[in-house]
Structure 1
Amino acid sequence: MSGDYQKELLSRLELLLLPAMNSRRWRRLQDCFGKSENIFSASVRDISVGANIPLELAQEIVSRRGQKAAEEQWRKAEKSGIKILADFSAEFPPGLKDLSDCPPLIYLRGKISADIFRRPAIALVGTRRASEYGRRLVRDFVRQLVDWQVLTVSGLARGIDTEVHQQTLNSAGITVAFVGCGLDIVYPPENKKLFQKISEDGAIISEFPLGTAPLRENFPRRNRLIAAASLATLVIEATADSGALITARVAAELGREVMAVPGNVYSVTSAGTNRLLKDGAHLVTRPEEIEEILPAVQKWLKENPSARRQETAGNPSLTPEQNDIINILRANPEGLSAAGICQQLKFPESQIFSALLQLELQGLILSRPGNVYILK
């Protein structure tokens, strides 16, 4: 990292750690003063009047001269394996720059390469109260997207979001999670293992500083990042007041395509998706329809023939649970216990154990001591 880059990044970080600072105010300061370090050498009057910043905040900015909060935040991030990226970094998701309040900085935890967002990214979002219908839809759509080597994007929330990330990893795909808290906090707490797995094989991104709690007001802000980072948003299952509808609205405002899967008119978890369809969202019932709707996906598949990875596609001769087990073991070549497989799948345990037995009899998997299974 060059000295100029780090200097600008630390100056931005020092400003953005102020509680009253936000993206829009920072943009006004940038328009007025250029480099962030110039802001700290300005007077209270120049900051307040010149950049239309509240007087109290201008006074706080001036009082922060010489403070080291940013350096402390930087050290914490570095120690935790978290990158802090400015919007001019090559690793910054390009779609976020379409937002009028694009975050000046993001925090990224993961091992993905800088060009990962050059491939299409599709947001899949929905209710925290996912039904078996919604979970099955996620499995079907995610398998196809992974086959196309398309990124899946979601918000790591309970329900549909969790299913999206888990199924992508099970299918050996790449998934990106945007969260509404600092990256040193796992929320919801039961997703600790999933959080770690995404960090290893994909990325977790936040605009919130380390230590930021998962406050209710943070999640609509997180949702706008999900929409902006993605080529299109697919709402799988959503209630009438679901946060997924915020993601869909932002996507539409940005000129992104919005898709929804129809649901039972008597189900509360389909009220939101059915309303989106009435409002003009693309109706999709099969994963292949995404390709028909999105020219960018068509172009990607045409230019990248290898993107149709048959080895991750479902085997039509196998049951859904058998295909899921094969994909899970493909993502865990060292093997996985039966308990570990059951933990990742939503099928009843009796079905999973039956599927394991059938796969072993067919010679597709092997059992090892300790009730551990591996691909043959």
Structure 2
Amino acid sequence: MSFAKLLAQFGSPQQVLQNPSQVTGMSQSVMEGLYRPDWAQVEEDLAWLDNDGREVITLHDARYPQLLKQISDPPCLLYVQGEVALLSEWQLAVVGSRNPSASGRNTAFDFARYLAAGGLAITSGLAAGIDGAAHKGALAGGGKTIAVVATGLDRVYPAQHRQLAHDIAANGAIVSEFPLGTTPRAELFPRRNRIISGLSLGTLIVEAALKSGSLITARMAMEQYREVFAIPGSIHNPLSRGCHQLIREGAKLVETADDIIEELGALAGVETDLPAAQDSVSEKPERDGDYQILFEHLGFDPISVDSLIENSGLTADAVSSMLLLLELQGEVESLPGGRYVRTGS
């Protein structure tokens, strides 16, 4: 906002820097920056730009994404590594918990893969959990993905996503409004989130607790007059409560990727003649014997081992061994407190 006010008053950054004594109504930190610009940081940024595939685009650059420019406080510049033109293509933001359930992680991956294959770029924040699954899904679908980060582009956070960041830069774009050397700090993530929603036609929340950064992103999307989608879940899953709250507030309930395409497809030019997302998963054959009995009592709500033994009539040893095998196959997930739930895989 300070940048916008200064431009409105002086017309260009050059005029601002040449007349700092005429600036009024700015904070002390802004005034210090005007009187003593960090030219060493400028030189570092210019050196970073010497490499291929790196750009810094300003608010008045013709390549600046128009959707982002429409928000109330667009960043004055963007550091970009990868395809700058991708920022102006139709995008869906996919965000959620950093510690999702296995089914939530799979859902984010599958939605992103399907939608990216249809031509919709997937935008997220490179965080652990749902964000990472969405980026990976888009890449697996042969589509494009954009990572908006809360650090300088000379850093990768979290560190375990270093290879993922490399893959995104090669098949999409990594974006930040923060200069090189910026380290991850809590207050920077909400600022990052407004860019994720601001770049996108809509935002999909896969799993989120009631107090989470994902809900901040969703509410920013609402303030930006963008679509908000939420995937419902079990009433016993605390990571579903944020999505349920958003649905009560007017977010669109989503069960399949086609629900999103119905809302955004015509506008975004997404292919709608793809096979239905759920059809891509082959039906599992009916289970025989004890496994069929176990699955009759094991649903998508958490249940304890003791309850499974009591309800199914199976022995403790049989239930324990079957749960272990099913967990290794990705069909069930173990939860704290000795509870289990089907993953939907």
Q: Which interval holds the TM-score relative to the shorter structure?
A: 0.7 to 0.9
* Alignment match, 1:58: 31
1:89 has 2:61 as partner: yes
Cα distance between partner residues in 2 of 1:26 and 1:232: 27
How far did 1:311 drift?
A: 9.8
- Equivalent residue of 2:189, what SS? helix
How far did 1:62 drift?
A: 2.4
Structure 1 vs Structure 2: percent identity of aligned residues? 35
* Alignment match, 1:105: 77
- Equivalent residue of 1:195, what SS? helix
Cα distance between partner residues in 2 of 1:319 and 1:107: 45
- Equivalent residue of 2:206, what SS? strand
The within-5 A match list for 1:75-224 is: 75-79=47-51, 81-110=53-82, 112=83, 114=85, 116-224=86-194
* Alignment match, 1:238: 208
How far did 1:274 drift?
A: 0.9
Cα distance between partner residues in 2 of 1:56 and 1:194: 36
Cα distance between partner residues in 2 of 1:217 and 1:117: 24
For residue 109 of structure 1, what is the amino acid of its counterpart?
A: Q
* Alignment match, 1:298: 266
Q: 1:261 to 1:25 in 2, by over 3 A?
A: same
Cα distance between partner residues in 2 of 1:317 and 1:248: 29
How far did 1:72 drift?
A: 2.9
- Equivalent residue of 1:197, what SS? helix
Cα distance between partner residues in 1 of 2:70 and 2:227: 15
For residue 193 of structure 2, what is the amino acid of its counterpart?
A: N
How far did 1:140 drift?
A: 3.0
Cα distance between partner residues in 1 of 2:29 and 2:118: 51
- Equivalent residue of 1:237, what SS? coil
- Per-residue CA deviation, residues 128-153 of structure 1 (Å, 9 max, x unaligned), is 11112212222332233123210111
1:31 has 2:8 as partner: yes
The answer on whether the counterparts of 1:171 and 1:312 sit within 8 Å (CA) in structure 2 is no
- Per-residue CA deviation, residues 111-141 of structure 1 (Å, 9 max, x unaligned), is x252x34542111110011112212222332
For residue 46 of structure 2, what is the amino acid of its counterpart?
A: W
Cα distance between partner residues in 1 of 2:249 and 2:13: 43
Cα distance between partner residues in 2 of 1:70 and 1:107: 13
The answer on whether the counterparts of 1:77 and 1:210 sit within 8 Å (CA) in structure 2 is no
- Equivalent residue of 2:50, what SS? helix
Cα distance between partner residues in 1 of 2:226 and 2:74: 16
- Equivalent residue of 2:98, what SS? coil
How far did 1:55 drift?
A: 5.1
* Alignment match, 1:41: 18
How far did 1:59 drift?
A: 4.8
How far did 1:316 drift?
A: 3.9
- Equivalent residue of 1:89, what SS? coil
How far did 1:27 drift?
A: 1.3
How far did 1:92 drift?
A: 2.1
Q: 1:56 to 1:87 in 2, by over 3 A?
A: closer
Extract structure 1 runs of 4+ deviating beyond 6 A: 311-315, 347-351
- Per-residue CA deviation, residues 66-95 of structure 1 (Å, 9 max, x unaligned), is x45413321134348531111222332222
The answer on whether the counterparts of 1:127 and 1:269 sit within 8 Å (CA) in structure 2 is yes
Cα distance between partner residues in 2 of 1:237 and 1:264: 11
Cα distance between partner residues in 2 of 1:138 and 1:109: 24
- Equivalent residue of 2:235, what SS? coil
The answer on whether the counterparts of 1:143 and 1:313 sit within 8 Å (CA) in structure 2 is no
Cα distance between partner residues in 1 of 2:151 and 2:281: 43
- Say what the alpha-carbon RMSD is for the aligned residues: 2.7
Cα distance between partner residues in 2 of 1:249 and 1:90: 28
Superposition TM-score, scaled by structure 1 size: 0.71
Cα distance between partner residues in 2 of 1:189 and 1:266: 32
Q: 1:57 to 1:132 in 2, by over 3 A?
A: closer
1:283 has 2:256 as partner: no
The answer on whether the counterparts of 1:231 and 1:257 sit within 8 Å (CA) in structure 2 is yes
Cα distance between partner residues in 2 of 1:254 and 1:247: 10
* Alignment match, 1:274: 244
- Equivalent residue of 1:187, what SS? coil
Residues paired across the two proteins, number: 290
Q: 1:316 to 1:33 in 2, by over 3 A?
A: closer
